[in-house]
Chain A
Amino acid sequence: ETGVTQSPTHLIKTRGQQVTLRCSSQSGHNTVSWYQQALGQGPQFIFQYYREEENGRGNFPPRFSGLQFPNYSSELNVNALELDDSALYLCASSLVTLPAEFFGPGTRLTVL
Chain B
Amino acid sequence: ELKVEQNPLFLSMQEGKNYTIYCNYSTTSDRLYWYRQDPGKSLESLFVLLSNGAVKQEGRLMASLDTKARLSTLHITAAVHDLSATYFCAVVSSGAGSYQLTFGKGTKLSVIP
Contacts and interface: CB of A to CB of B under 8 A. Distances in A.
Interface size bucket, A side? 20 to 34
B45 A101 contact: yes
B23 to A, nearest CB: 11
A78 interface: no
Contacts of A42: 4, 88, 90, 103-106
B42 A50 contact: no
Contacts of A58: 100
Contacts of A99: 31, 92, 94, 99, 101
Interface in A57-112: 58, 88, 90, 96, 99-106, 108
Interface in A9-55: 33, 35, 41-45, 48, 50, 55
Nearest to A58: B100
A26 to B, nearest CB: 13
Contacts of B105: 41-42
Given A101-B33, A101-B48, A103-B43, A96 B104 contact: no
Contacts of A3: none
Chain A CB within 10 Å, residue with most, of B4, B42, B103, B106: B42
Interface of A: 33, 35, 41-45, 48, 50, 55-56, 58, 88, 90, 96, 99-106, 108
